[in-house]
Structure 1
């Protein structure tokens, strides 16, 4: 009987530790910085730009052709997720190599699982999405090794986003 209580206590401690280390929060995106891969010319960039501008809630798009980066300002109150942007880039025939989200209110909308760093609720917070499809294949393989203790990370889940806090 005492052994069963000890096992139950250990399970409870493990669960509490896991919850303390992995914070699930919701955030409304105010800006995203998306780096696309596979582009070879300005026409490629234009194809992605046209896809991104069809997203409701997009206010402004700036493009850097040297780094293939699209900086997208979003309207306040949007209900967008990183998945919407990934799908639009893939629809244009390309892939996301890096996806950084800026939020101003970390308790608003999209599901983020913070697996590296700590969100600051008083100011804009930048997250880098670490899931498959939001990193290059090489970076994703490295991330899988780094975060192998986090059970939900290696599973492909399109509703939750595993993130690293950048500031």
Structure 2
């Protein structure tokens, strides 16, 4: 209890989509009906590395990762839907192919569009660009001018 105030806490298996939905439903009910805050603690596991320079093998085993891969929320939901016969392997394959084509078509369209002006990186941050932000922007332009071969020709025109 903090300052005489109790906060509801719901702990849930964050890798179980249906459990998270139910916890969220309960939290909303408490918030709306009792006008009180609710904290949902979703217990989960990060399979991916912290960053591209991180090597998780230094602090966890392959066996540990495999245990958690089996608890993947998407795979768990997929298995549940298959078991209920609300989804099929055929529907999955069809949907995957449809989405793959849609992503490729969208990427092709996006690649044809010209890049926005470099100034758009900072023009929508503040009504008036701060001196610190302007210095960072100028530093970026100098960097692009210094290493032009590291940037596509279209982006080199920014400087």
Q: Is the strand fraction higher in 1 or 2?
A: 1
Larger CA Rg, structure 1 vs 2: 2
Q: Is the helix fraction higher in 1 or 2?
A: 2
For normalisation by structure 2, the TM-score amounts to: 0.26
For normalisation by structure 1, the TM-score amounts to: 0.25
